[in-house]
Structure 1
């Protein structure tokens, strides 16, 4: 079964697609204080919840959403249509690393998709190419809240701690102007939604696809509950280009 389809199914009940509550998503976007006519770029947009909410907060703004998954982009198209935002959101099925634009943006969003560029440093370098002078980036990234077990560190890679993550984000000419560290309740809501949606889908779709979805869910839940829960943190940073 297509892994992109599995991911799209898993995120159906949590389109924010990160351990961030709707209230804190709003808080982060409001802190951006986007101007009238703002241009927003969402790299790794998934179902488009971040860019769609930005469009709702600034009715004169426009956005581009970029994702490699056609399943996620289709979900974003449906959500934009349901919210009357289709004419202000342009969606692109392509790699975030290969996307190009002719005009700069006021805000570049990359929440939980830094892997598309190879890491946080590379993501900030990419954002710098898209944002206008003095513009903003809203980037979400994992960090180790406490030292992980060796097998968890091997599975996730060499994340720094929170201080190291902020330092890395700022190293290429950026200044952090706001941030949000996800709490355990936000993590649990995200993970229970992810695993629960896959579990329900697998029960409703018996056969090889359902069995694969169930196996993926169980593997993910095991690593979460007995591995990174309370160990892996997530920070959303609002940074200004300086």
Structure 2
């Protein structure tokens, strides 16, 4: 099975693909889209769940998403059609770091896609290029909530703590106007949903050629989480405005 196939199964019951409850997603979108008629861009949109939720509740909204995965974008197109928002959604298949648009956006989203740009600050630099005056950025970033184990560092790299992460953002010329730090419940719910969905699929499809791999992946990922990073990993979403317009 490919990584995309495994990811699709693992996120079947948690399509936002981040450790956030639905209410937290809704509030972040509310703070990022105060008018409801904005133009929104998601850099590294995947299956475009952030955009789909924004479009469903804001009939004047228009959105664009960028991702390299045709599989994810195809799923996004089907979902947009099923949810009746496809006429207001444009999807681009290309590296998010290479995307160029002649139009500016009122909200730029990039949650869980910093690897596509080389880190947090390069992601913010890319977002700035697309941002309209007085626009906002919604970005999600991992951090160490407490001292990590060597195994956790091997998996996620040299993350900063929460305070240092925010300090870096502020020093780069941004002002947080809202934020959400994922709770232990949200973090746990995300991990249990991912690896539980994957394991359940494997058990329900024992004759599928990918069943053994799926179950092995679920078992390994659950063990890495419980024994490696559960006690140290944190996730924050920040709604930002430029300090100087």
Give TM-score, length-normalised by structure 1: 0.94
Aligned to 1:182: 182
Aligned to 1:108: 108
SS of structure 1 residue aligned to 2:26: helix
The 8 Å contact of residues 9 and 198 in structure 2, kept in 1 or not, is answered as yes
CA spacing shift, 1:44–1:205, aligned 2, 3 Å: farther
Post-superposition shift, 1:36?
4.9
The 8 Å contact of residues 40 and 107 in structure 1, kept in 2 or not, is answered as yes
SS of structure 2 residue aligned to 1:20: coil
Aligned to 1:64: 64
1:1-242 equivalences in 2 (<5 Å): 1-203=1-203, 204=205, 206-242=207-243
Post-superposition shift, 1:205?
5.1
Post-superposition shift, 1:5?
2.1
C-alpha distance after superposition, 1:151-185 (max 9, x if no partner): 21122101000011112223322111110000011
Greater mean deviation of Cα atoms: 75-84 or 106-115: 75-84
Q: Provide structure 1 residue ranges, at least 5 long, that are not aligned to the other structure.
A: none
* Alpha-carbon distance between aligned partners in 1 of 2:152 and 2:74, rounded to the nearest angstrom: 33
The 8 Å contact of residues 33 and 107 in structure 2, kept in 1 or not, is answered as no
Count of paired positions:
242
Over aligned residues, Cα RMSD in angstroms?
1.5
C-alpha distance after superposition, 1:16-53 (max 9, x if no partner): 11000100101111112443531100112122121112
* Alpha-carbon distance between aligned partners in 1 of 2:220 and 2:36, rounded to the nearest angstrom: 45
* Alpha-carbon distance between aligned partners in 2 of 1:207 and 1:83, rounded to the nearest angstrom: 30
